Amino acid sequence: MKAFVQIIRFLVGALFVYSGFVKLVDPIGSMYKFEEYFGADVLNLEFLIPYALPFSILLILAEIILGLILLLGCKAKLTTRLLFLLTLVFLFLTWYSWYYNKVTDCGCFGDAIKLTTWETFIKNVILIFLILLLVLKHKLIAPLFSKKFSLIAILGSLVLFFGIIYQVLTHLPIIDFRAFAVGKSIPEGMKYPENGEDAKIHDFYLYDANDADRTNEILTGDKVLLVVMYDLDKSHPENLGNIKAVTDNAIAKGYKVYGLSASYIDDLVVLKQQYQLNFDFLNGDGTMLKTIIRANPGIVTLSKGIVTGKWNAKDAKDVILR
Q: How confident is the model at residue 246 (pLDDT cuts 50, 70, 90)?
A: very high
Say which residues have a Cβ less than 8 Å from residue 315's Cβ, sequence separation at least 6: 171
Distances (CA, A) of 230 to 5, 129, 255: 48, 41, 21
SS3 231: coil
Tell me the HSE value of 255 on the side-chain side, using a 13 A CA sphere. Answer: 24
Q: What is the mean pLDDT of the chain?
A: 90
Q: Which segments of the chain are extended strands (E)?
A: 224-228, 256-261, 280-283, 298-303, 306-312
Contact yes or no for 250/257 (Cβ under 8 A) = yes
Of 161, 169, 200, 167, the closest CA to residue 295 belongs to 169
Neighbouring-strand partners of residue 302: 224, 307
Condensed to tens digits (0 to 9), the pLDDT of residues 276-313 reads 899 999 999 999 999 999 999 999 999 999 999 999 99
pLDDT at residue 24, as a whole number: 93
DSSP 136-202: HTGGG---SS-HHHHHHHHHHHHHHHHHHHHHHHHS--SS--STTSTT-BHHHHTSPPTTSPPPS--
Contact yes or no for 246/279 (Cβ under 8 A) = no
Please, what is the Cα angle at 175 between 222 and 62, to 5 degrees? 150
Peptide bond into 173 cis (omega under 30): no
Say how many Å lie between the first and final Cα of the chain, rounded. Answer: 62
Number of neighbouring beta carbons within 10 Å of residue 120: 25
Count of H helices and E strands in the chain?
11, 5
Condensed to tens digits (0 to 9), the pLDDT of residues 189-238 reads 999 887 777 888 989 999 998 899 999 999 999 999 999 999 888 887 77
pLDDT at residue 107, as a whole number: 66
Q: How confident is the model at residue 68 (pLDDT cuts 50, 70, 90)?
A: very high
Rg (C-alpha) for the chain, rounded Å, is: 22
Q: Which domains does the chain have, with CATH numbers?
A: 2-170 (no CATH), 186-318 (3.40.30.10)
H-helix or E-strand spanning residue 94: helix 76-100
Rounded to two decimals, the pTM is 0.88
Of 17, 22, 48, the closest CA to residue 35 belongs to 48
**Maximum distance among all alpha carbons in the chain?**
71
SS3 58: helix
Contact yes or no for 292/285 (Cβ under 8 A) = no
Mean pLDDT, range 23-38, rounded to an integer: 90
Per-residue pLDDT for 120 more than 90?
A: no
Mean pLDDT, range 73-80, rounded to an integer: 92
User: How many Å apart are CA 318 and CA 308, to the nearest integer?
Assistant: 13
pLDDT at residue 155, as a whole number: 95
Higher pLDDT: 98 or 155? It is 155
How far does Cα 7 stand from its chain's mean position?
31
Contacts 24+ apart (CB under 8 A), 192-200: none
Residue type, 81: R
Residue type, 210: N
Burial of 29 (0-12, 13-18, 19+ CB in 10 A): buried
